[in-house]
Amino acid sequence: MSTIKEIKVPDIGDFSDVEIIEILVKPGDSLKAEDSVMTLESDKATMDVPCPEDGQVAELLVKVGDRVAEGTSILKLQPAGASQSVSTEVVQAPTPSASTPSTDPTPASVPVATASVEVIVPDIGDFQDVEIIEVFVKPGDSVNVEDPLITLESDKATMEVPSSDAGTIETVLVKVGDRVSAGTAVVRLSTSGGVATAPSVPAASTPEVAKADSAPTTAQAASTSSVAEPSKIDEAAFRKAHASPSVRKFARELGVDLSKLSGSGRKNRITKEDVQNYVKQAVTKAEAGVATTPAASGSGIPAMPEVDFSKFGEIETQDLPRIKKISGKNLHRVWLNIPAVTHHDEVDITDLENFRKELKDEAAKQGVRITLLAFIMKALAANLKQFPTFNSSLTPDGERLILKKYFHIGVAVDTPNGLVVPVIRDVDKKSVYDLARDLGEMSIKARDGKLKSQDMQGGSMTISSLGGIGGTAFTPLVNAPEVAILGLTRSRMQPVWNGKEFIPRLMQPVDVSYDHRVIDGAEAARFVASLGKYLTDIRRVLL
């Protein structure tokens, strides 16, 4: 009788307390290794949990709605018995004699016809037009079911696309930098058609017949046993490393701490080659009798020293909200990569504020709370038409500008968990009432944590307003891949000289930060001056 095993949630990266949204199996179901057993969903990504081995579901230990983390037991599995035979409708695989172990791992089968199939991007949750950052295969490569083919990365999550069939790659239909969605074909695969064979299980006495591409991995693991020390892996830092699930698994097999590596991939992503190179360097140094040293991480900036604050008095440690963790990484990346400059000015909005007050009662009848921000959005969209460079993004190679023909404005919203930036679309085509209504709806969704990924993508330029809190000026960080951001603080009455006398005017501070690689100081000054004209006399928006 086979031993009942508990199947646990594997390493799922920097995620914990993730909700189960779907259970794909039930007691009595037979499973193959890598079959999906359930689907997890965090606030930023959806992922399947695979079965690690063949067997039959004995008992489910969780249900839909439960929250799990790495190491949580999810089901009990009765592993497939070693003596069980494997059959198909066409052929029965012979069982090797126990006294004469086979030296040929190739299963018994009959000649089969081959078929060409296209592997498509499966349902990847609430993501569309996602960028390919890694392609793992090339024509001629052999792949098994669930082997990763490509890696996708949105601004909020990273995910791999697995092969749906086993076979040989005929054609790779995509490349790094392409954008795909569910249903996009990624490779064409030559696979056996219609007849299954017994699973290939290499005999213990014939390790030389293992897959050729696994030989380097085995050799590396054996040769680095003295230099790669799994016991010294910093689990917390390992989880935060920017790497795909397959690279994480590969690193764990070799005992490599990903937190000690710098990534050579797009957006400093750690690749399989980075892990291999790290191991090679460790082996070389060990053979030469030189102590191994960790690779520099991030930008090479020295890390802040760890301080034990408890020795100074009572303390309390709290987890940083997930939104702040995600936005923090992005802001740090922006700070290191974008040479930003901020232009400060003041705009007379006396007449605009009077006009807004006149519309207040009329807007209330339509169930809309009209704010100054709706007018500023309208003025900003009109200004972007006059200065198309501000409505652009720089290509990753820094050689070209992508000029946008749409006018979508992002608005930073303060929530209990941190700032989020929903995007209001087609601002140039909407009335002030429409914008006020959209702002109200998006703000509610943001505070309730119900924003979808597409609600926060595709902005032309972002507005960060602190007017409801205070301040006289600040330096907002550019919301990459945008090239500029408008900051607003509290407006205040000031005496303004009109040539004859000082008169009270309502002045609005404006702060525009911009990517100096795309926009120079003179252009920024002209942009702010033009925006001031729109806000001083909102009728100019109609021209």
For the chain, the C-alpha Rg in angstroms (whole number) is 29
State how far the Cα of 340 lies from the Cα of 269, in Å rounded to an integer.
24
CB 319 within 8 A of CB 417: no
> CA-CA-CA-CA torsion for 242, 248, 250, 251, nearest 10 degrees?
70
CB 158 within 8 A of CB 152: yes
φ and ψ at residue 273, rounded to 5 degrees: -65, -35
Distances (CA, A) of 300 to 9, 152, 295, 451, 467: 34, 26, 9, 35, 37
State how far the Cα of 346 lies from the Cα of 289, in Å rounded to an integer.
65
Q: List the 113-120 sheet strands across, edge first.
A: 113-120, 185-193, 167-172, 142-143
State how far the Cα of 159 lies from the Cα of 150, in Å rounded to an integer.
9
Token output for 188? 């064409």
Query: Is position 344 annotated as part of the catalytic site?
Result: no
Token output for 491? 């407006």
Residue 350 carries which side chain, given as an amino acid letter?
T
Q: Which helix (H) or strand (E) holds 462?
A: strand 461-465
Token output for 425? 């679309």
CB 349 within 8 A of CB 535: yes
Distance, CA of 86 to chain centre: 41
What are the beta bridge partners of residue 480? none
Distance, CA of 255 to chain centre: 25
Catalytic positions: 516
